[in-house]
């Protein structure tokens, strides 16, 4: 795809909303009555309602993790959040059948166009529920399942229940408990043994309402020898009040399967983005997280892989850009549980203005394992003197048969670099963008072509006015 054909997404493209008449509105606040309302609206079985209520107790019991994380978390007012908003529609298989204001939203974001150009299937979620879900017929004939999580629970419980909540248990952390209590939307994907999905499947999550919390739940299972790539994008308009996004993503790669999970996040800067993502990789399996974090007020996200089988491989590649008023607290986790497992973490962050970026990493290898390897590289770039970066790696490696390599660097764009490029005809802003794009260029190439072009544009726009 040439650059002129690339996805046309700009910084303010998602900054719009429509007035929507919701059929279901759980109101503000979170109690057992809220959960009963959600379960009734979704027509859920009793066991899910009980699962939600147990999770609510865990959420209420667990303290806010400000003993290690930012105290900005204390500014989330859970009583003011609306936990479920829906128009009551089932996901449509055709864009023509999607409600007008929802269809207009996704048309303005270019989603139908992307589907036609390069995707194997699309799911589009509007506030709490999917409004559109479609997959190419050939994949359906191969037995691939790609539906919303609510539909997955109802139609495929024999597959769904086996792994639901197993990779990330409810009590993993306060926000996984919150998601377990009020989850709605998200994707369920199952790829049968040996099936290789050549084109990506994509989900797009859109917040439209003010003072709203979006809690999608995604479960992807790649059966033996299968392969799948999944991409997710997300936006929300700018509001005066804070918005909460707290998703849970569970990936299961069975023997020799491959999953690639790509995220391009472009939230507005009023969003608290608190997400838990983790994968299981069985023998010979491979899981790769590619993660780009731009926007939001606070992002806390540490994709991880539990390497359960011999010769399993996990990888996290991430880019974070923190501008004024933003804190990108991101990183990765690699838990080795079998011999000859390997993991790779590459993280790059850019701090602009008074933005703050934080890397948190966890690598675990117990002493009974042999032949395990990890490589971690985390690099931070500071643009201004008031920007900030922190690094908190936790490495626990035991035994003599395992190896770990950790490399970290912090650098600042120097006045000499900018001056040198300006002498060759670039403006100061163009010179700064060139320096930043050079810093992340090797990672941007890891994204699909369509997304790498979008990423460069987003970075350029974030850098506008950053000089000085």
Q: Which two tokens stand for residue 231?
A: 């991409």
Q: What is the pLDDT of residues 273-321, one digit of tens each?
A: 999 999 999 999 999 999 989 889 999 999 999 999 999 999 999 999 9
Euclidean distance between CA atoms 384 and 428, whole angstroms = 14
Give the closest residue to 242 by CA, choosing from 280, 289, 279, 274. 274
Residue 348, helix vs strand vs coil: strand
Beta carbons within 8 Å of 323's beta carbon, 6+ residues apart: 269, 352, 353, 355, 462, 466
Q: What is the pLDDT of residues 106-154, one digit of tens each?
A: 777 676 777 666 677 777 877 788 777 787 788 889 999 999 898 899 9
Give me Rg for the CA atoms of the chain.
22
Three state DSSP letters for 2-70: CHHHCCCCCCCCCCCCCCCCCCEECCECCCHHHHHHHHHHHCCCHHHHHHHHHHHHHHHHCCCCCCCCC
DSSP code at position 448 = -
100-109 and 111-118 helices, crossing angle to 10°: 60
Euclidean distance between CA atoms 414 and 432, whole angstroms = 10
Q: What is the pLDDT of residues 374-430, one digit of tens each?
A: 999 999 999 888 899 999 999 999 988 899 999 999 998 887 888 888 888 888 878
Q: What is the pLDDT of residues 149-161, one digit of tens each?
A: 988 999 999 999 9
Indicate the domain borders of the chain. Answer: 24-301, 419-467
Confidence label for 446 from pLDDT (cuts 50, 70 and 90): confident
Euclidean distance between CA atoms 117 and 138, whole angstroms = 16
- Mean pLDDT, rounded, of the chain: 88
Confidence label for 60 from pLDDT (cuts 50, 70 and 90): very high
pTM for this one?
0.90
Residue 16's pLDDT is 62
Residue 1's pLDDT is 33
Tokens 């996040």 sit at which residue?
265
Q: Where are the beta strands (DSSP E) in 370-449?
A: 373-382, 388-397, 403-412
Residue 17's pLDDT is 61
Euclidean distance between CA atoms 330 and 274, whole angstroms = 10
- The alpha carbon dihedral of 32, 37, 41, 45 has a sign of positive
Please report, for residues 329, 348, 459, 464, 467, the alpha-carbon distance to residue 386 in angstroms, rounded to integers and kept in the order given: 17, 19, 19, 17, 12
Q: What is the pLDDT of residues 207-251, one digit of tens each?
A: 887 788 999 999 999 999 999 999 988 777 767 678 899 999 999
């Amino acid at each position: 795809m040439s650059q002129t054909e690339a996805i046309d997404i700009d910084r303010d493209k998602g900054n719009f909303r429509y007035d929507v008449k919701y059929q279901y509105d759980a109101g503000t606040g979170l109690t057992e009555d809220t959960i009963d309302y959600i379960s009734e609206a979704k027509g859920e079985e009793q066991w899910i309602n009980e699962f939600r209520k147990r999770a609510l107790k865990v959420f209420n019991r667990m303290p806010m993790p400000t003993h290690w994380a930012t105290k900005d978390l204390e500014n989330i007012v859970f009583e003011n959040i609306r936990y479920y908003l829906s128009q009551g529609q089932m996901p449509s298989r055709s864009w023509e059948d999607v409600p007008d204001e929802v269809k207009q939203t996704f048309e303005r974001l270019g989603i139908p166009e992307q589907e036609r150009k390069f995707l194997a299937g699309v799911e589009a979620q509007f506030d709490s529920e999917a409004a559109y879900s479609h997959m190419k017929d050939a994949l359906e004939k191969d037995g691939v399942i790609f539906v919303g999580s609510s539909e997955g629970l109802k139609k495929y419980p024999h597959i769904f229940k086996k792994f639901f909540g197993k990779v990330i248990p409810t009590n993993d952390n306060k926000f996984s408990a919150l998601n377990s209590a009020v989850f709605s939307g998200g994707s369920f994907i199952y790829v049968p043994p040996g099936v290789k999905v050549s084109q990506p499947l994509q989900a797009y999550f859109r917040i439209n309402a003010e003072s709203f919390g979006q809690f999608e739940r995604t479960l992807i299972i790649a059966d033996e020898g299968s392969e799948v790539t999944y991409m997710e994008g997300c936006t929300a308009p700018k509001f005066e009040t804070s918005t909460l996004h707290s998703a849970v993503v569970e990936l299961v790669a069975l023997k020799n399967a491959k999953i690639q999970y790509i995220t391009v996040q472009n939230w507005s800067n009023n969003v608290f983005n608190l997400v838990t993502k983790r994968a299981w990789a069985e023998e010979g399996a491979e899981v790769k997280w590619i993660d780009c974090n731009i926007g939001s007020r606070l992002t806390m996200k540490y994709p991880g892989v539990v390497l359960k089988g011999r010769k399993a491989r996990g990888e996290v590649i991430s880019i974070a850009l923190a501008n004024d008023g933003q804190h990108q607290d991101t990183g990765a986790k690699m838990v080795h549980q079998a011999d000859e497992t390997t993991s790779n973490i590459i993280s790059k962050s850019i701090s602009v203005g008074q933005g703050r970026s934080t890397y948190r990493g966890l690598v675990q290898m117990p002493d009974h394992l042999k032949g395990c390897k990890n490589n971690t590289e985390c690099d931070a770039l500071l643009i201004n003197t008031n920007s900030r970066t922190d690094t908190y790696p936790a490495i626990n490696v035991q035994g003599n048969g395992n190896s770990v390599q950790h490399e970290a660097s912090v650098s600042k764009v120097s006045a000499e670099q900018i001056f040198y490029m300006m002498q060759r005809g670039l403006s100061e802003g163009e010179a700064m963008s060139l320096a930043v794009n050079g810093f992340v260029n090797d990672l941007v190439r890891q994204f699909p072509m369509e997304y790498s072009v979008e990423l460069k544009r987003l970075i350029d726009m974030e850098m506008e006015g950053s000089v000085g």
